[in-house]
Amino acid sequence: MKTVFLLFLSMGSLMFSQKLTSDNWKRMSENERKELIKKMTPEERKELLKEFREKMMISELEVTKENEEEFRDLYTEYQESQKQIKNKFTPKETYDKLSEEEAKAELERSFEIGQQLLDNRKKYSQKFQRLIKPQQVLELFQTEGKMRERVNERQNNIRTPNESSSFRSRSAPGGFRSTKRP
């Protein structure tokens, strides 16, 4: 009973925050948006980001009303599929301590994951083309890249001076994080 109550409570707060955000987001100041987001749980923030990403894609690609729901489902499926592949590769903070053999194995693994991401993207491009034109699929992938760059920029701007000497980025070749040094 307690679990059911907590579930309804969390769903209600999520729906309230999404409703409030959907209706008033454009009218809110940047500080008001930040405060609203700070009050959300991590799950609510993740759901909000997912919703914004989907709405942006639908708007940018001008997906027809008839295909909107199917596109949204396919896009979510694609995002989850890419995420599962990316999670197979966990970059290390530093590669200096790896032996040459370990480094070669890690490099080979990164190429395998990169190829899996590429193969998955190709598979889903075919599925997307049943709903949208090839030109729109190209735009979808380009828009995703731009969103990833924006997120990385914001993350890098938030970092302290000590953290900025080395950072992780998902925009590395293959779509997984890399450690960069100035």
- Residues 94-118 have pLDDT tens digits of 888 899 999 999 999 999 999 999 9
Contact 24, 16 (CB under 8 A): no
Mean pLDDT of 21-37: 77
pLDDT at res. 120: 98
CA 125-127-129 angle, to 5 degrees, is 70
| Furthest-apart CA atoms within the chain: distance in Å | 56
* SS3 label, residue 111: helix
Q: What predicted TM-score, i.e. pTM, was given to this entire model?
A: 0.67
